[in-house]
Structure 1
Amino acid sequence: MLDIAEELNRWVEQGRDFAVATVVAVGGSAPRQPGAALAVDGEGTAIGSVSGGCVEGAVYELCRQALEDGETVRERFGYSDDDAFAVGLTCGGIIDILVTPVPVGSPVREVFAAGLAAAARGEAAAVARIAEGPADLTGGALLVRPDGSYEGTLRARPLGAPPSGSGGTDPAPGADGALGGHPELDRAVAEEARAMLDAGRTGVLEIGADGRLCGEPLKVLVEASVPPPRMIVFGAIDFASALVRIGKFLGYRVTVCDARPVFATKTRFPEADEIVVDWPHRYLESQSSEGSVDGRTVLCVLTHDAKFDVPLLELALRLPVAYVGAMGSRRTHEDRNKRLREVGVTELELARLRSPIGLDLGARSPEETALSIGAEIVANRRGGSGVALTGAHIPIHPDPQGVSSAVIGRIGSVA
């Protein structure tokens, strides 16, 4: 759901009723991962996707039905061998869809609205929902913030009772009965969701209805929205301009850094989010000390000059970032490695360096080279091999971390 937060947030602000269908589990060669969503408003307008087109029509009708009857439903779609035209995934996978009505005035609306607004602003927030469990526990939602505070509830409320908030006191039971679910459920899920939010991961949490591993089992979808990851491009050269465009296309917040003010200009890099004139290693050191680089950050060194490369890579290869790549010929690579060893970079640290940068696409132009670098970054992030799919006996849509279930132990996650 949070993958279409910007448009859904506008729907909330406009006061539209809508229903949202979210992928909560996948198996086999499913095209979308947990968290992917399709939403339909009261006038029949649809946004998003749950299957890349295979079952969109059927899911659309489920959303329309949910808007009419107000019921949260879970539906499974898979491939039909008997009828190639039946509703199903022709790619052979299976997806489970959770359809939730979000009309104006519903208890879940406030939680969804807060989560969508945060995601639309680029702030960190997680929304948790029961994906599988007792019927009286479906339909609730919990918004979890980075500091661990939360609002809403996954527990069934008596009719007319307000939601609990920020770990506070639950509403007193009304005449229609007590709250369903254990009092610890919200707090336990909030703790686990906070950990997933810290890692920037969406996935399925398996937990007992009592908030522990025992008790009636529940599966909780946790959708995490975090600020976009950073790509820092060092070296304001023509190849960098193309790489900035690829980085933005892949969803990165892109910074270009170069010590030469005549080259590091907004005119040359209009798509960049930030232009920095500074020595590369000095800028990276400042970002590291401020905590502005993390395990999702990618560093692309295009300076192609030892006086910039060596001090920069000496630092970069010791930071817990996702990717470090450096441009240059194989001769440049060997000379650079020699210089790095001389300043104390270990073989284990050198093994992290992607150099020469990019995958072998036969690239020549800056745009083709940027594409090869972007492809390597994606392969590194997703665990891809980089080989052609034609003739290769490897999954097209591999399961997260190489497993066949969306639930991995207690927490199953996808990036």
Structure 2
Amino acid sequence: MQDNIVLSVIDTKKSKLKRRLIDELYRAESRTISQLAGLLHTSVPSTTNLIEELSNEHWVRGIGTGNAQFGRKPSLFALNPERYINIVADITVHDIQLRAMNLANEIVEELDVKMGLDLSPGFLSVLREPLEQLSQLLEARNVQTIGIGVSMPGLVDPKRSINHTYPNLNGPGMSMSQLFRTIFGAPVYLINDSQAMIIGEHRFGLAKGKNHVMSVNIDWGVGLGVIVDGTIFQGGGGFAGELGHIQMKSEGGELCHCGKVGCLDTLASASALIQRAKAGLKAGAVSLLAEENLDNLTIETIIAKAGLGDVFSIDLLSDIGSELGRGLATAVHLFNPELIIVNGVLAKAEKAIIRPIEQAIAKYCLPNYRDNLTIVQSNLDGMAKLYGTQAYVLQNLLEQELIP
């Protein structure tokens, strides 16, 4: 009896060390045994045994040697990208990106669906077909799906896997989480898209190593991801970051899709930009955009025309950036970040959107808040949400002791 208890304690400790080792390798990409031993606070022989066991279980593999000042070069180890994958879905109001990603953050299979998130009861029925198609693509590979992550806009309760903004995803009958799990046979984790974005930035982007960061997601709505003391801030219900629904214009403001009037979404989102552009052109604005079909006007076209020097397009982006900066000033006073990362479809406008944001923050923030604040465009080339969702899945799998 006593021997069984001792063995159980040893096994529990070893399993915990394995999970920590996987987490360290995912964060750092590669490490030597000596480095891992230091990070795990265990001996080199014990770490060597852990590496051997995880290698036999196809979690870890050797990838060559590292640098050494003297003597023999140490062996480098990384997560094995060939056996285990996660399904990552980025669902927006315009389209869906389905990705199978390995543990090296590489895309193994991908499927883009020209179907946006909506409130119709038939949404899940239509979603089933591309999910089954992706599943069939993966059958030809010798891989195991260990987790599923879904990022989307709206009030997402990550603990209950419910999106309160889109109740049609929660049943009755089969919910979206159940649909994913039925097809791929793995645990499902839902996360708000802006929160996924800040996780991606903090793990792999310009926020890495920083403790107080905000990532503004200027998409078809405006969202905010926040890192406080090195940890993502999700709030009591998981809904933190809905910057787009702070009221900016109470008198004479436009009706927001949430039912309120004058929300930031109505002034500083991609939707607001398209609306303003169409209204201006219909009113006779002189612009290179006048050559375009208004029904098919895109964000990319407006940004491109601004790049060509079109004053109307430049002014539109400047107005959007100014309104956004005014809204962000409130968040800056609340969270006192050292860095703001600009993300989303409007981030492609680069300086045309960032400069007016900077000017508005300089205007509306107290000097002490803005003096040590840097505002930059993301360097992850639109991958922040996918990276963040994958990291969120692995974090949950490890914390819930579902792997290895």
TM bracket, shorter-chain basis? under 0.3
TM, length-normalised to structure 2: 0.27
* Structure with more of its chain in helix, by fraction: 2
